[in-house]
Amino acid sequence: MAKQKILIIEDERALQEVLSYNLEREGFEVSVAADGQDGIRKARSFEPDVILLDLMLPVIDGLEVCRQLRADVKTQRIRILMLTARSEEVDEIVGFNMGADDYVTKPFKIKPLIHRIKALLRREGVEKSSRDVVAVHGIQVDRVNHTATAQDELLDLTPTEFRLLWSLVRAPGRPFGRNELMDHCRGEDANALERTIDVHVRSLRQKLGLLGELIETVRGVGYRFRGESESKTTTPS
| Chain contacts with Ca ion (rule: CB under 5 A) | 11, 54, 56
Phi and psi torsions of 100, nearest 5°: -75, 145
The nearest distance, CB 29 to Ca ion, in angstroms, is 23
The nearest distance, CB 57 to Ca ion, in angstroms, is 6
First to last CA, the chain: 54
The nearest distance, CB 78 to Ca ion, in angstroms, is 20
Query: What does the alpha-carbon distance between residue 231 and residue 237 come to, in Å, rounded to a whole number?
Result: 10
State the DSSP code for 112.
H
The nearest distance, CB 43 to Ca ion, in angstroms, is 17
The nearest distance, CB 83 to Ca ion, in angstroms, is 8
Minimum CB distance to Ca ion smaller for 39 or for 172 = 39
Minimum CB distance to Ca ion smaller for 59 or for 120 = 59
Sheet holding 153-154, edge to edge: 133-136, 139-142, 147-150, 153-154
Minimum CB distance to Ca ion smaller for 56 or for 119 = 56
Minimum CB distance to Ca ion smaller for 56 or for 104 = 56
Residue number closest to Ca ion, CB atom: 56
SS3 75: coil
The nearest distance, CB 44 to Ca ion, in angstroms, is 21
Going by C-alpha positions, the residue among 221, 229, 230, 226 that lies closest to residue 176 is 221
Minimum CB distance to Ca ion smaller for 57 or for 181 = 57
3-state DSSP helix/strand/coil % of the chain, to nearest 5: 45, 20, 35
* Buried residues in 190-214 as b, exposed as e (16+ CB within 10 A): eebbeeebeebbebbbebbeebbeb
Minimum CB distance to Ca ion smaller for 34 or for 214 = 34
SS3 103: strand
